[in-house]
């Protein structure tokens, strides 16, 4: 079985694949001060919690946007699998052409999401990744990555709003009613939820205009995607494990 690890700024998302089947999907908090040994213990416990024994792992594929943790988690993966993990970066065969100014600056999670979207969905394609940052990833009709837009993530924006405005409380965006709020909680929830949905719709239209063609597929992934898709006017398909699937596909590509 293959272990996939997506190291993000807020969470580390784990996946265990048995062929094309995702047997385990789990998350743990990103803590930069922890060592590879500490993460190995926690990862092994998480796998056991989900009914999987680390002894069954035969390889690992990793994407990371937290450089200070990449080495520690690579050490974790090697301890658990007994083999050197694939760490996504320059020189790795991904199958995704990067038609941007500096391909080396493209985040590993963006590459993994794009690689999976290219193979799984009709092109051209837009991937909206809603996590610590909100990323809108554009693939053209040939499946090449043409660029992206990056904005503060929903939770980051909400935390900043609550922290800097003393009269505005922390809220949950799980429920939303009217777009014109008549009290503080309704108003904040409307701004966050409907504002994010409108941004997704609006940026989709702007990117289509720049590409000169309409997206055949709109895909949403990331830990927060499910809360906002029902409020978008455009129809996004929810693919919560897109990055993990991309890591699986890229791992297999190395042996082709």
5-34 tens-digit pLDDT: 999 999 999 999 999 999 999 999 999 999
Q: For residue 169, what pLDDT is reported?
A: 59
Q: For residue 256, what pLDDT is reported?
A: 67
Beta strands in the chain (DSSP E): 2-7, 11-18, 21-29, 59-64, 86-87, 125-130, 133-139, 145-152, 217-221, 237-238
- Is 178 a residue whose pLDDT tops 70? yes
Catalytic residues: 109
The residue count of the chain comes to 256
Q: pLDDT tens, 68-110? A: 999 999 999 999 999 999 999 988 999 999 999 999 999 999 9
> What's the pTM value of the predicted model, to 2 decimals?
0.92
Instruction: Over range 205-214, report the average pLDDT.
Output: 96
Name the DSSP letter for residue 50: T
Query: Which residue segments constitute the domains of the chain, with CATH numbers given?
Result: 2-87 (3.30.420.40), 103-246 (3.30.420.40)
Q: Is 112 helix (H, G, I), strand (E, B) or coil?
A: helix
């Amino acid at each position: 079985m293959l272990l996939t690890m997506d190291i993000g700024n807020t969470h580390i998302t784990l996946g265990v694949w048995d062929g094309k089947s995702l047997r385990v999907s789990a998350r743990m908090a990103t803590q930069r001060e922890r060592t590879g040994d500490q993460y190995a213990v926690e990862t092994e416990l998480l796998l056991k919690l989900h009914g999987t024994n680390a002894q069954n792992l035969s390889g690992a594929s990793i994407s990371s946007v937290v450089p200070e943790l990449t080495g520690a988690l690579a050490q974790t993966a090697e301890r658990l699998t007994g083999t050197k993990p694939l760490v996504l970066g320059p020189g790795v065969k991904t199958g995704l052409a990067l038609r941007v100014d500096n391909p080396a600056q493209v985040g590993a999670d963006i590459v993994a999401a794009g690689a999976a979207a290219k193979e799984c969905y009709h092109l051209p394609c837009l991937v909206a990744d809603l996590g610590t940052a909100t990323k809108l990833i554009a693939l053209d009709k040939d499946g090449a990555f043409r660029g992206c837009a990056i904005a503060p993530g929903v939770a980051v924006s909400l935390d900043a709003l609550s922290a800097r405005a003393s009269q505005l409380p922390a809220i949950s965006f799980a429920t939303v009613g009217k777009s014109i709020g008549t009290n503080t909680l309704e108003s904040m929830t409307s701004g966050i939820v409907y504002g994010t949905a409108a941004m997704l719709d609006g940026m989709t239209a702007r990117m289509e205009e720049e590409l000169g063609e309409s997206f055949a597929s709109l895909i949403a992934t990331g830990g927060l995607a499910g809360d906002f898709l029902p409020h978008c006017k455009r129809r996004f398909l929810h693919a919560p494990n897109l990055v993990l699937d991309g890591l699986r596909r890229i791992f297999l590509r190395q042996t082709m």
